[in-house]
Amino acid sequence: MSASTRTDGIVAGRLDPATLEANFADLHPPLDPHEARVAADRCYFCHDAPCVTACPTSIDIPLFIRQIATGVPEAAARTIFQQNILGGMCARVCPTETLCEEVCVREVAEGKPVLIGQLQRYATDTLMAKGEHPFARDAPTGRRVAVVGAGPAGLACAHRLAMNGHEVTLYDARPKPGGLNEYGIAAYKTVDGFAQAEVDWLMRIGGIVQEHGKALGRDLDLDALRESYDAVFLGVGLAGVNALRTRGEDRDGVQNAVDFISKLRQADDLAALPVGRRVVVIGGGMTAIDAAVQSRLLGAEEVTMVYRRGPEEMAASRFERDLATSKGVRIVFNAQPVRIRGKKDGTERRVEFAYTRYGPDGFEVTDETFEIRADQVLKAIGQTLYEPPQALALKRGKIRVDAAGRTSVAGVWAGGDCASGGDDLTVTAVAEGRDAAEDIHKALMS
């Protein structure tokens, strides 16, 4: 239906294809060889480099930057991939401004860090463009491992297990591998189908069989997996979405932000993707930022992101907040949704908010309210583990694991967003998957 005949304000084709292509171009265009050498020359190559400590995968950052500076980016890529086999994606999506670059000596002294993330992308892209895989499999061990979940944690685990000589079956509930990298990251951060290209490149290690459309609890039983395989790794992510628990949440035009982003990432034609003229995004994390920015890039005229606490408590980094405001997103702090109003035909939708504050008894919702008109409301208030097997012990709603990724069930490891380990970051998931694989290998070979 055309924009002139729709009445709910959520329509496709707000912008022409050329404008959409420009809007969703690469957020950080890649460095050319000269730019990379110049950027690498700014590194002090610190002996006790704080950037290495700040990297969840412990990449030897001074070493790979020195390798770029001396004209061997392929060697730099091998240094990166030794610690982080998804180094190409992490170079694009890691919040480097709050990790390695935040503690860079140049940042501390001058306020301008070495471009570690962009240099990592330059190195990894250089090697991947040659079609080379930097590792070979060890001799077959005869052991079989099931990896459930083909997101960053599962992919990193499967690759390291295969490299160590084990046979791996990689299961995933979706029709394509990649997890968050394929379905949950803003399109302008990973252009030209990079997520799938990276998976295809990773699979060149061999020894990994992929099974798609297989979900734990629906198609796969944990006890059956334990009987059929020598070990099991769970990297199932967080498939559930928290509810607003707000009146009117079930009205037309109210959607989970993760679903909105997933549809956008899988769309063949962005001009066919509907978006509201006025969009309200509820939440303060990376998903909220990605949904808000992409709504603007699709042609929404007014996008308001509302977070119930102050900016200092926001999960999204300052860089991401600045990116959102630079694209025209308005951010409202200290406000919580109370009610979503609207007529039965979907028109005149409004979201009522109440201001929040910290009082004598802590965080509280005040009686002072306001409303924002919205054709479309996107919920981004966090995700939850979807129906975990009852045998697994949980910790704060996630699978409880120890430092090596071992769960409460013998022979079962877990990592990534579904586990009670570190931050919900791609790079952290990679580290947890890699480390669990090494522990599985040690357990199987002892």
The region of weakest confidence among 119-133, 298-312, 334-348 is 334-348
The full set of domain ranges for the chain reads 33-129, 144-239+385-445, 241-379
Residue 347: CB atoms within 10 A of its CB come to 13
The band of 411, judged by pLDDT with boundaries at 50, 70 and 90, is: very high
Q: What is the pLDDT of residues 51-70, one digit of tens each?
A: 999 999 999 999 999 999 99
Q: What is the CATH code for 241-379? A: 3.50.50.60
Domain 144-239+385-445 bears CATH identifier 2.60.40.10 = no
Whole-number Å distance between alpha carbons of 86 and 236: 17
Per-residue pLDDT reduced to its tens digit, 208-218: 999 999 999 99
What pLDDT digit, counting tens, does each position of 269-307 carry? 999 999 999 999 999 999 999 999 999 999 999 999 999
* CATH topology match: 144-239+385-445 vs 241-379: yes
d(CA 297, CA 23): 6
pTM: predicted TM-score of the whole model, two decimal places: 0.94
Residue 287's SS3 state is helix
Q: What is the DSSP string of 345-393?
A: TS-S-EEEEEEEEEETTEEEEEEEEEEEE-SEEEE-S-EE--S--TTS-
Mean pLDDT of 227-252: 93
- For domain 33-129, give the fold: Fumarate Reductase Iron-sulfur Protein; Chain B, domain 2 (1.10.1060)
- Residue 4 above 70 pLDDT? no
